[in-house]
């Protein structure tokens, strides 16, 4: 039976790779983001090129009412949610003295607050059914604050804490929650670079996300750390 996957925060790059990987496995994939033309094109591509299904659901993830409506649409299209990927982020790269308070609030709204709201919607389906999976896309700044990026660092730290708390609460109910630390730059879309080996391949990262979905309950991962091959850490 096809599983329903919601990707909250889809764009060119890793979000698109995750959506493609899940659709290749036969999932029905709901694409949530603000850019309607991009989502429509990606959904059409997934429907035509993979065994899975896809629906474009334009959503402002900083708006709780839009998130609620989006999940109602997901259920209308595909039924209950089995997989959620909290992938959205929005933050200006500013240090403390240059950080605009509105930009800081938006970083929290699109990051941990949206993840909280999306998780509540998705998990309400999972705990009443056969369980499910909730994945968080983290970054180096999830575990080590970055100089000159107070908003991004704060949002990513908050998402990591949310994921860890949820994992301990929801594991007994059959819901696997995992946080993925992307410790390095991601190869940009369509980009072959002279220094490509210094970047993570988004398709390879997406493979790791699917592995988390498929893990046996006896050996669930809480946090997965991914980085490109380098000689020294």
Q: Do 135 and 84 form a contact (C-beta atoms < 8 A)? A: yes
Q: Is 54 helix (H, G, I), strand (E, B) or coil?
A: strand
Contacts of 53 (CB under 8 A, 6+ apart): 2, 23, 27, 28, 29, 46, 47, 78
What is the average pLDDT across 6-26? Answer: 97
Q: Compute the distance between CA of residue 52 and CA of residue 49 in angstroms, rounded to an integer.
A: 9
Predicted pLDDT of residue 146 = 86
Q: Where are the chain's structural domains?
A: 4-226
**What's the CA gap between 90 and 109, in Å, rounded?**
9
Ramachandran area for residue 184 (φ above 0: left; ψ -120 to 50: alpha; else beta): left
DSSP 225: E
Q: Are 111 and 156 in contact (CB under 8 A)?
A: yes
Among residues 126, 216, 10, the alpha carbon closest in space to that of 19 is found at 10
Query: Contact, 71 vs 119, CB < 8 A?
Result: no
Q: How far is CA 180 from the centre of its chain?
A: 9
118 is written with which tokens?
């999306």
CATH architecture of the domain with range 4-226: 3-Layer(aba) Sandwich (3.40)
Q: What is the pLDDT of residues 34-90, one digit of tens each?
A: 999 999 999 999 999 999 999 999 999 999 999 999 999 999 999 999 999 999 998
pLDDT tens for residues 89-120? 988 889 999 999 999 999 999 999 999 999 99
Torsion of CA 101, 84, 188, 46, to 10 degrees: -130
> What pLDDT is attached to residue 233?
46
CA–CA dist 128, 153 (Å, integer): 34
State the sign of the Cα–Cα–Cα–Cα dihedral 215, 186, 29, 45.
Answer: negative
pLDDT computed for residue 232 by the predictor: 52
Whether the predicted model's global pTM rises above the 0.85 cut: yes
171-226 per-position pLDDT tens digit: 999 999 999 999 999 998 776 655 667 899 999 999 999 999 999 999 999 999 99
């Amino acid at each position: 039976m096809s599983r329903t996957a919601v990707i909250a925060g889809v764009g060119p790059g890793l979000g698109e790779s995750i959506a493609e990987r899940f659709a290749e496995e036969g999932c029905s994939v709901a694409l949530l983001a603000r850019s309607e033309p991009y989502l429509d094109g990606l959904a059409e591509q997934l429907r035509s090129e993979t065994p899975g299904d896809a629906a474009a659901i334009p959503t402002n993830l900083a708006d709780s009412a839009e998130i609620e409506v989006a999940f109602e649409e997901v259920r209308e299209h595909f039924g209950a949610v089995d997989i959620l990927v909290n992938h959205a982020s929005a933050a200006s790269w500013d240090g403390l003295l240059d950080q605009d308070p509105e930009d800081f609030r938006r970083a929290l709204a699109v990051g941990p607050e949206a993840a909280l709201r999306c998780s509540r919607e998705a998990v309400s389906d999972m705990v009443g059914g056969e369980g499910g999976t909730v994945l968080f896309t983290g970054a180096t700044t999830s575990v080590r604050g970055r100089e000159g990026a107070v908003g991004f660092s704060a949002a990513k730290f908050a998402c990591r804490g949310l994921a860890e708390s949820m994992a301990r609460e929801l594991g007994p109910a059959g819901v696997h929650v995992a946080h993925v630390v992307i410790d390095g730059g991601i190869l940009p879309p369509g980009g072959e670079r002279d220094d490509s080996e210094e970047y993570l391949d988004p398709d390879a990262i997406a493979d790791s996300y699917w592995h988390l979905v498929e893990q046996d309950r006896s050996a669930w991962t809480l946090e997965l750390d991914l980085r490109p091959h380098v000689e020294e850490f």
